[in-house]
Chains A and B, each alone.
Chain A
Amino acid sequence: MLKFILKRFFLETIPSLLVIATITFFLIRLAPGGPFSGEKSIDPQVLAQLNAHYGLDKPLVVQYVNYLANVSHGDFGPSFKYPNRSVTELIGQSFPVSLELGLFALIFAVVFGVGAGIVASLRPNTFSDYAPMSIAMVGICVPTFVLGPLLILVFGLHLEIFNVSGWAFPRDRVLPALTLGMAYVAYIARLTRGGMLEMLFQDFIRTARAKGLNEFQVLFKHALKGGLLPVVSFLGPAAAGLITGSFVVETIFQIPGLGRFFVMAAFNRDYTMIMGIVLFYAFLIIMLNTLVDIALTMLNPRLKLK
């Protein structure tokens, strides 16, 4: 196991991050304008000083190497927009919020998605199949930026059950988590339904029935383990997507999470912030996928870690 993790880290994670860092670095630097060009009428001398201070006047390649050197020490630099605070600090402050949001959304998505998928798989191509699957589809057909405002409209403004925005109270988790999770309910439901159906037509299900098991036992003891494998596979990208894709929700519900910081950083051309967040997210995604790979080998006895 340790060997697997080390191998994964050095042979895949580091190179991947390197590639991503390089692409992002040059991409954002190639664009017109810089971090300070947005400021209204800056004195060119002050601008030159600022650029020199941050090393932005040096050749690109030099900047690149310097950046990588710093990163290898864990120094992601200060934010250009908020010079008093380092990128690490800002990420450290806002990430837990996004994480919490993402986790609630994930739990919601898994519970409803797996439930809908199992129900749908029991009687395929009938109403009890079409109904839950269509409802699950709401998540991918009604975008977060439509669903969110609609939920706010109905539950926040008209029924006044929830706050319209903010993250201060535990209750504030509900609407954002729902909005964010809905999109994933559909995918998870689909995967569960597909996985369960694959299982339910296998011979060993027939054997289980021939042994006298009741339908409940057949479903949960025999079909479920194999049937949920596609869902577990999907959890990696799902978790990653939930954490990285939350900026719309964060913006709509005014949640101080990492996603919102990213969009602002992009608009502000805050180079270090952008780089830091991109690398952080990439690392997160890779790590989640690794965890999922490990989980899969534990669930499917025919798989082995490579």
Chain B
Amino acid sequence: MHSGTVRAVSDVSFDIDQGEITGIVGESGCGKTALCLSLLRLIPQPPGKIEATGIFFKGNNLLTCSHEEIRRIRGNRISMIFQDPLSSLNPYLKVFNQLIEPLQVHRGLSKKQCLPLAQAALDEVGLGNSATKLSAYPHEFSGGMRQRIMIAMGLITQPDILIADEPTTALDVTVQAQILTLIRSLLRKHGMSVIFITHNLGIVAHLCNRVLVMYAGRIVEDAPVRDLFYHTRHPYTQALIKSLPSAQAPDEKLKAIAGLPPDLSRPIIGCSFADRCEFVKDYCRNTPIELKEVEKRHASACMRIINGDLLS
């Protein structure tokens, strides 16, 4: 391990449209969580640092606004839910007290006023009989129920954007499906936008309207979901899709992507996927990469594809 600066996220730029579910997909360590924490300035600075032109939300620049202002947005206009609900919920506090915190802090409501809202929130995520549940502690619930509580907590202030950081990764597959269905129906109901982080392409296909693929801290492809799968415009995305096991061909050998992701403490010139890319050419390693639109609403960071050099 070297000491030094790790550039977890580089040159990222994207827009979120209202009412859209945007998936951010990539392998562990590609920077997807760091990216989303940066949106809400949840990266401790020091030792970290967020450098950006701006993070624009409803007329505010989240990067430069005051601490008070961003605090008012967190949990209120932009909510975030996390991967492991057991460690993300406070084991020493009752569910009720944690659930209503956003209401207390942002709406100034009293505990009494919050009670019906808390009950409604739990009902909405499928946890009825809320009386006993509200006075219980997180460890008394199953994983799926805990995640529902987290979702309820994230939605209780009716935010404009919900950032969900791998909310189903820690759950059993069957429970995963339930949670995804729940998220989708809640989205439709509330009309909010969602940023959904996952490493699972299957979920992305199932749930998202648009997808950002990240690798080594950069966005390598940005496309509507169908286009991503049917008109892939980046070798990495292609390799990812290819590596999915197929139910149609169960005896096929699994295709892994050879090699390892690069060391992010060193600056990389050129494409960071070059060492593992099937289609690499010399200039891939020398030219600085950028994300460019190659088709309607479809951007790619592959130099060869941008230059029209590669048809895939």
A–B direct touch in complex (beta carbons closer than 8 A):
yes
Do A222 and B88 have beta carbons less than 8 Å apart? no
Do A210 and B40 have beta carbons less than 8 Å apart? yes
**Contacts A203-B84, A302-B139; A212 near B92 (Cβ below 8 A):** no
Within 8 Å of chain B (Cβ to Cβ): is A41?
Answer: no
CB-contacts of A196-215 with B (<8 A): 202-204, 206-214
Query: Which residue of the partner chain A has the closest CB to B41?
Result: A209
Within 8 Å of chain B (Cβ to Cβ): is A22?
Answer: no
Contact of A299 among B76, B82, B92 (CB under 8 A): B92
- Report the bound CA distance from A207 to B91 in whole Å: 12
- Report the bound CA distance from A301 to B136 in whole Å: 9
What sequence of 0s and 1s flags, for each residue 104-117 of chain B, a beta carbon within 8 Å of any chain A beta carbon?
Answer: 01100000000000
Within 8 Å of chain A (Cβ to Cβ): is B73?
Answer: yes
Question: Closest approach, in angstroms, between the C-beta of A242 and any C-beta of chain B?
Answer: 27
Within 8 Å of chain A (Cβ to Cβ): is B124?
Answer: no
Do A209 and B91 have beta carbons less than 8 Å apart? no
Residues of B contacting A37 in the complex (Cβ-Cβ under 8 angstroms): none
Prevailing SS type, chain B contact patch: mixed
Residues of B contacting A213 in the complex (Cβ-Cβ under 8 angstroms): 71, 75, 101, 105
Do A207 and B82 have beta carbons less than 8 Å apart? yes
Number of interface residues of B (CB under 8 A): 27
What sequence of 0s and 1s flags, for each residue 76-111 of chain B, a beta carbon within 8 Å of any chain A beta carbon?
Answer: 100110101001111111000000011001100000
A-B contact pairs, 26 of them (CB 8 A): A203-B87, A204-B88, A204-B89, A206-B82, A207-B82, A207-B90, A208-B101, A209-B74, A210-B75, A210-B82, A211-B102, A211-B153, A212-B71, A212-B73, A212-B74, A212-B102, A212-B106, A213-B105, A217-B105, A221-B93, A222-B93, A225-B93, A300-B92, A301-B91, A301-B92, A302-B139
Residues of B within 8 A of A (CB): 40, 42, 71-76, 79-80, 82, 84, 87-93, 101-102, 105-106, 137, 139, 150, 153
Residues of A within 8 A of B (CB): 202-204, 206-214, 217, 221-222, 225-226, 299-302
